[in-house]
Chains A and B, each alone.
Chain A
Amino acid sequence: MLDEQSGSGCHLLIVSNNRLLAEAIGSALCDESEFTDFESIRCGEEHSHLCRTQHEPRVVIMDACCMASTADLFSATHRMTEQLPESHIVVLARAADARTVTGCIESGATGFILTTQPFDELLATIRAVKQGHARCSGEVVEVVLARIRELAGTKVESANNAEAQLSDREIEVLQLVEEGLLNKEIARRLGIALSTVKNHLHSAFEKLEVATRRQAVRQALALGVLQCHAAHAVA
Chain B
Amino acid sequence: MEKIRVILALGSSLVRDALHEELQRCDRVRVVAVVSSPIELLRRTETDEADAVILESAGEGEMPGVLTHLFAEFPRLTAVTIVGPENRAVVYRQEIRQRAYDGLSLDELLPELTSADTKYWMRE
Q: Which of B73-124 contact A (CB under 8 A)?
A: 82, 85-87, 89, 103-107, 109
Q: Which of A22-30, A99-107, A175-183 contacts B (4 or more CB under 8 A)?
A: A22-30
CA A23 to CA B15, docked complex, whole Å:
10
Residue of B nearest to A92 (CB): B14
Q: Hey, which chain A residues are within 8 Å of B85, CB to CB? A: 17-18, 63, 65-66, 94
Q: Beyond A18-B103, A20-B19, A24-B22, is A118–B86 a contact (Cβ under 8 Å)?
A: no
Contact of A115 among B15, B87, B89, B109 (CB under 8 A): B15
Cβ A113 vs Cβ B14 within 8 A: yes
Assess whether B86 is in contact with A17, with CB atoms less than 8 Å apart: yes
Number of A-B contacts (CB under 8 A): 83
Closest Cβ of chain B to A154, distance in Å, is 34
Say yes or no: B103 contacts A17, CB within 8 Å.
Answer: yes
Contacts of B109 in A (CB 8 A): 20
B 32-75 contacts with A by CB, 8 A: none
Say if the beta carbon of B27 comes within 8 Å of chain A. Answer: no
Residues of chain A within 8 A of B89, CB atoms compared: 20
* Measured CA separation A65–B86 after assembly (Å): 9
Overall SS of chain A's interface: helix
Interface footprint category on B: 20 to 34
Distance, CA A25 to CA B14, complexed state (A): 8
- What residues on B are CB-neighbors of A97 within 8 Å? none
* Distance, CA A29 to CA B113, complexed state (A): 23
Q: How far is the CB of B20 from chain A (nearest CB, A)?
A: 8
Structural contact, A25 and B15, CB atoms closer than 8 A: yes
Is the Cβ of B14 less than 8 Å from the Cβ of A119? yes
A93: min CB distance to chain B, Å:
11
Q: Does A117 contact B (CB under 8 A)?
A: yes
Question: Considering only CB atoms, which chain B residue lies closest to A40 in the complex?
Answer: B105
A122 CB contacts on chain B under 8 angstroms: 14, 18
Question: With A20-B104, A27-B22, A28-B22 as given contacts, are A66 and B86 in contact (CB-CB < 8 Å)?
Answer: yes
Max chain A Cβ within 10 angstroms of own Cβ: one of B13, B18, B104: B18
B25 touches A31 (CB 8 A): yes
Let me know if A19 is at the binding interface, CB within 8 A: yes
A115 to B19, CA, bound (A): 13
The answer, among A18, A24, A25, for a CB contact under 8 Å with B86, is A18
